[in-house]
A = this chain, B = another copy of it.
Amino acid sequence: MDELVERGVRITRQRRVLISVIQNSPTHLDATALLAIAKQQDSGINLATVYRTLALLKNCGLIDELDLMHLEGEKHYYEAKTSSDHCHLACFGCGAIMEYASPLFEKLKRKIAADSGFRIRVARLELGGLCKQCAKTTA
């Protein structure tokens, strides 16, 4: 939140609620789910505001946008950005979403940046396949 103030972004009632919901959510939320939860705290929030706030937070680098392999439709999911990036494993069998962080991922990013001169602002690694359980069953 302080990050936003520093950037001169106005902190409105709606933004406060939305940010808190995103930061406290145990799951990856899409815009509609985020709205539903936010409405419990502030019934007057509108879906357009949700989208506008997500765009704002994304541009400020405070949240990441995910596809999660589009396991259920073409929508996007959001999560608060953490210090080190992690990748998402989406199981085509049971729909489970797992997270995986590794120093090797960080190393790969550094190498890509070094090799190409590209200044990385967002990194998104998503894998689709079968989780341990489903791989066993399908095998």
Contact = CB atoms under 8 A, between A and B. Distances in A.
Contacts of A124: 124-128
A105 B102 CA distance: 12
B89 A116 contact: yes
A130 B118 contact: yes
Contact of A119 (B108, B118, B122, B130): B130
B118 A92 contact: no
Interface residues of A, number: 36
A69 interface: yes
A10 interface: no
B112 A127 contact: yes
Contacts of A74: 74
A108 B108 CA distance: 8
Given A104-B108, A107-B104, A129 B125 contact: no
A115 to B, nearest CB: 7
Contacts of A127: 109, 112, 118, 120, 122-124
A112 B99 CA distance: 10
A7 interface: no
